[in-house]
Structure 1
């Protein structure tokens, strides 16, 4: 009973925090950063992987429908965009209410003798961002009364889940509602990403990004605490099950030392004149496709044969693009004079979102419940990922590494190394159709070669655990500093840089929140449980 009361009290902190943080624009930005990271991460890492485990590949389709369906509907039926937005918001709230019942059941399980009380503590803690998000999403839209009713409903449904017994829990179990929950999960992500009620005061000069970064770091801290608790409980329940946050940390430990080495190499090559503003197009394409610091990741963690394949393939692609005089999309802006600032600040800002996305994306599409064993299907799925986004070379190398560790075919790994930095809609628009066909022919020939020749190698870098831990600490500091500089929305907008317009959700509401921030782009990161690298 104590757990039930504590979980209800945790929800009530939402209105209290909201009232305090809504007293100034800087604090509002901090609140937005906290909600954006904590609730978004909670949905992606805590809920979505569990849905994948029970629903398989079809689950992702329902998530995408819930995420992008409202945006498409508002563009097609612009006159009814307010109705579409309200339906999406309602679905998101419905999903949180549905999840609340399972929270009540989870606390009952935590009271059983064989289970750890950490499960109940995790449920109570994750109610903090949920309660805050409810108030953040609803109060500007429908006012205090309806927001309070929703919170009371959440408390009541928690009690229902706590007292109802096994029969109701079974009827609302994931197995019976997996696709509904997947669609609602996408709706929640849509609402969180699109900041439905906007800011009270426009932040055109990004003067409050530091506060947004502080809020996002606090959200990350809470999320990490919840994941560690959930991981420990999951491992206890499944006797060392392979899929958990430990494996994600293991991946980060593996790449961190090599990633720092890549940033150092970028610093050195910048110092010696290989810079983004180089007057030769061939040099600019070299930096876009390979860095060449991404080759260090491939060489160290995938082996010399993959590195040689990447060098030859990107040289041919870069030569073709230079010969056709194709300009680069999304050039570097405001490049610092200092080589150290370029390597460990500017390049971190551009690559960190892609590195995080690459790991969590490989998590989802590499999940054992997502059967993508056919190489052609793997390449097709990756093509759908690459076209709307422009991967940086470091992100492409990390994605290739994560896919290789997830057991994907080496053709898909090769596709990531060569195609990710160049196959995107913004870059393809700058090519004539004949140039696009030539590029496609080069990639096809490279993939046929990758299918015929074994590129795997046992000569990969293995460092002591102490070095990996130290390097991971430095990488966390670098990425955290980037979050502070940019704020979470601008940090993630690097992944969708060709979509400059902000979906502002200006639906003509009667309340006084019509000043929306139209300068921020938004993107999504998916996360979930990862898998152990193959030995």
Structure 2
């Protein structure tokens, strides 16, 4: 009974937080950062893997429908975009209400012998961002009365789940409602990504990004605490895909990633810079860095590294000889090598590295039956086209897929295609250049199908070095979050995420190549989209 009372009290922190944090734009930005990271991270790392475990690959379709469906509706029916947004908000709130019943049941399970009390504590603590998010989303749009009614309904439904017994929980189990919950989960992500109308205050100069960064770090701390509790007693903590897997990957990758940033700093100091007048050198930096090759060599092995060098050399020669311009160039170059390697490059690569790990944790899930290499390549193609992976993000994704047991064809395709194969880059190429690029990638796939690239010669570092590397990466990524704020930090990943940012910082300019009129068209489209959000 004590758990039930504590979980209801946790929800009441929502109005309290809102009252004190909505008094100024800076504090409001901090609250936005907290919700963006804590609730968004909870969905991506905790809820989605569980949905995949019960619903399989088709679950991802319903999640994507929930995320992008409202955006597509807003674009198709501009006049009714507000109605669409409100319906999505209603779905998201409805999903959270449904989830509260299972929360109540989880607290009953935690009281049984043999189960850890950390499960109940985790349920109680994750109510904090949920309660804050409910008030933050509803209060500006429907007023205090309705927002209070929703919180009261959440408390009541938690009590229903607590007292209803196993029969009701069986009816509302994931097996019976997995696709509905997947769609609603996507709706929650949509609402988190798109700030509510009541919070679209002007911040054109980004002066409150520091406060947003502080809020996001608090959200990250809470999320980390929740995930650590999840490994301590949750019924699906034994699953290989979850917080334990995530932490294992981070520990392995972090020290090598720090080494890659040192290499980037050194090559900048030696004159290999994004501002180089040589198109060949600029393409070298876009495709390989060459700091990305270090990760491939040490963690995927020498054969994959040799394959990557030859493949990217062929792509780089094609792009240079046919004078293809690079999408999304560095808009400005810092004066110091350290400012580039551990500042600007961290800002550009950190979101891609995090996205790569999250993606691999989802599409590499054992419940997602993607054993066919051709299907794996097709899924990766769908991922690459709307994005523009940096070279470090591409290598991290390839590495995480290798750890997830994907075929070497998919891993090899990621190494070659991720840094170059995007709609933004293809727009800067004619059909002949596109066909030649496709030919190189097809040849690379054929080679990967015939030659064994896997190797047991990979670097194994002591645990102390891995932990130290992880601490350094956390500090670097945390500093980047503070500089940019969470929305600007992630604004480079996709067009729809970018459009939620209410200022246009130079670091988020996407496909901003000089002399190409399509960039002006996109700017107009983004401005038009803002009017309808």
TM-score w.r.t. the length of structure 1 is: 0.93
1:15-65 CA distances to partner (integer Å, 9 max, x unpaired)?
Answer: 011010001111001000000001111112221111100000000000000
**Mapping 1:314-325, distance limit 5 Å:** 314-325=312-323
In the alignment, what sits opposite 2:60? 60
In the alignment, what sits opposite 1:126? 126
In the alignment, what sits opposite 1:533? none
Inter-CA distance 241–79: structure 2 relative to 1 (3 Å threshold): closer
In the alignment, what sits opposite 1:527? none
Gaps of 5+ in 1: 505-516, 524-535
1:226-254 CA distances to partner (integer Å, 9 max, x unpaired)?
Answer: 100011113xx569553331221111111
Instruction: Using the TM superposition, name which of 413-422 and 41-50 deviates more.
Output: 41-50
Determine if contact 2:364/2:406 at 8 Å carries over to the other structure: yes
In the alignment, what sits opposite 2:191? 191
In the alignment, what sits opposite 2:413? 415
Determine if contact 2:141/2:198 at 8 Å carries over to the other structure: no
Inter-CA distance 158–305: structure 2 relative to 1 (3 Å threshold): same
In the alignment, what sits opposite 1:155? 155
Determine if contact 2:203/2:503 at 8 Å carries over to the other structure: no
How far apart are the structure 1 equivalents of 2:497 and 2:146? Answer: 35
SS at match of 2:12: helix
**Mapping 1:98-177, distance limit 5 Å:** 98-177=98-177
In the alignment, what sits opposite 1:339? 337
How far apart are the structure 1 equivalents of 2:245 and 2:497? Answer: 35
Determine if contact 2:29/2:209 at 8 Å carries over to the other structure: yes
Inter-CA distance 501–108: structure 2 relative to 1 (3 Å threshold): closer
How far apart are the structure 1 equivalents of 2:485 and 2:454? Answer: 39
**Mapping 1:116-515, distance limit 5 Å:** 116-197=116-197, 199=199, 201-234=201-234, 237=235, 240-496=238-494, 502=499
How far apart are the structure 2 equivalents of 1:144 and 1:136? Answer: 11
How many residue pairs get aligned? The number is 508
Inter-CA distance 96–240: structure 2 relative to 1 (3 Å threshold): closer
How far apart are the structure 2 equivalents of 1:267 and 1:239? Answer: 39
1:51 is aligned to 2:54: no
How far apart are the structure 2 equivalents of 1:200 and 1:409? Answer: 45
How far apart are the structure 2 equivalents of 1:522 and 1:92? Answer: 30
SS at match of 2:366: coil
How far apart are the structure 1 equivalents of 2:189 and 2:415? Answer: 29
1:73-94 CA distances to partner (integer Å, 9 max, x unpaired)?
Answer: 1111111112111110000000
Inter-CA distance 7–465: structure 2 relative to 1 (3 Å threshold): same
How far apart are the structure 2 equivalents of 1:502 and 1:199? Answer: 15
Inter-CA distance 27–347: structure 2 relative to 1 (3 Å threshold): same
**RMSD value over aligned CA atoms?**
1.6
- Structure 1 position 198, deviation (Å): 5.2
Gaps of 5+ in 2: 511-533
How far apart are the structure 2 equivalents of 1:413 and 1:174? Answer: 32
SS at match of 1:494: coil
TM-score w.r.t. the length of structure 2 is: 0.93
How far apart are the structure 2 equivalents of 1:172 and 1:240? Answer: 23
In the alignment, what sits opposite 1:531? none
How far apart are the structure 2 equivalents of 1:10 and 1:429? Answer: 50
How far apart are the structure 1 equivalents of 2:497 and 2:126? Answer: 33
- Structure 1 position 114, deviation (Å): 1.6
- Structure 1 position 468, deviation (Å): 0.7
1:149-207 CA distances to partner (integer Å, 9 max, x unpaired)?
Answer: 00000000001101111111111110100000000000000000011225353111111
Determine if contact 1:25/1:200 at 8 Å carries over to the other structure: no
1:105-152 CA distances to partner (integer Å, 9 max, x unpaired)?
Answer: 011111112212111111111101000000000011101110000000
In the alignment, what sits opposite 2:514? none
